Amino acid sequence: MASSDARPVQTGALLLAIAVIAKSLLPITALLLVGLSTGCARPIASSPFADVTIERLKTDPLSWIGRPVEVEGVVDANADGSWRLKENCAAEARSVLVRWDSVPGFSRSDHGSRVRVRGVFHDDNVSAKNETHRIDATYIPSRGSLQNVSILWRLPANLPRCGF
């Protein structure tokens, strides 16, 4: 009977040892969990690029000059050199100039496809004083352009494109 009496004592001692170890590790475990959760819960840094439409760039160019912008539109890379990013496929759609030949990853097959690009907006008709040039008392319409352009995404080639 001596061996059966020893088991409850051994089991009790083992449970007591586990409880003491767990109690001493509890603060360390809590600190570890808090440290991991604060390290993983960092907010995502906001993008320096303003999400803007071509319409906003054209109607209020002074607000966007020199600012990094992200714009969605349709590639118009005609052979006549009037390379633009247009709002849509319509002939009268608003557009901004883009030198597609200097955009990394651009290919002639992108003509007519919808893309999202990032770049810095400039307006060649605005002087350093932020005043629109005047000719015969009329204002030259804004010919804003995007510079330092990179393509974020483009629709796949198997989707419909503008025919211009």
DSSP label at 132?
B
Domain that holds residue 147: 50-154
Q: Is the pTM of this model over 0.95?
A: no
* Cβ-contact 155, 117 below 8 angstroms: no
Total count of domains within the chain: 2
- Considering the domain architecture, whether residues 37 and 58 belong to the same structural domain is answered as no
* Cβ-contact 128, 109 below 8 angstroms: no
pLDDT at 89: 92
134 phi, psi to nearest 5 deg? -115, 140
pLDDT at 162: 87
CATH of the domain at 104: 2.40.50
- Considering the domain architecture, whether residues 24 and 88 belong to the same structural domain is answered as no
- Considering the domain architecture, whether residues 66 and 142 belong to the same structural domain is answered as yes
pLDDT at 121: 95
- Considering the domain architecture, whether residues 35 and 65 belong to the same structural domain is answered as no
Q: Which two tokens stand for residue 143?
A: 């010919």
Report yes or no on 159 lying in a domain: no
- Considering the domain architecture, whether residues 150 and 87 belong to the same structural domain is answered as yes
* Cβ-contact 86, 73 below 8 angstroms: yes
Report yes or no on 163 lying in a domain: no
pLDDT at 86: 94
pLDDT at 119: 96
Residue holding tokens 């604060």?
A: 38
- Considering the domain architecture, whether residues 96 and 125 belong to the same structural domain is answered as yes
pLDDT at 136: 36
- Average pLDDT for consecutive 10-residue bins of the chain (164 residues)? 55 66 63 55 80 93 94 87 88 91 89 94 65 40 83 88 81
Report yes or no on 161 lying in a domain: no
- Considering the domain architecture, whether residues 36 and 59 belong to the same structural domain is answered as no
Report yes or no on 88 lying in a domain: yes
pLDDT at 22: 61
- Considering the domain architecture, whether residues 20 and 61 belong to the same structural domain is answered as no
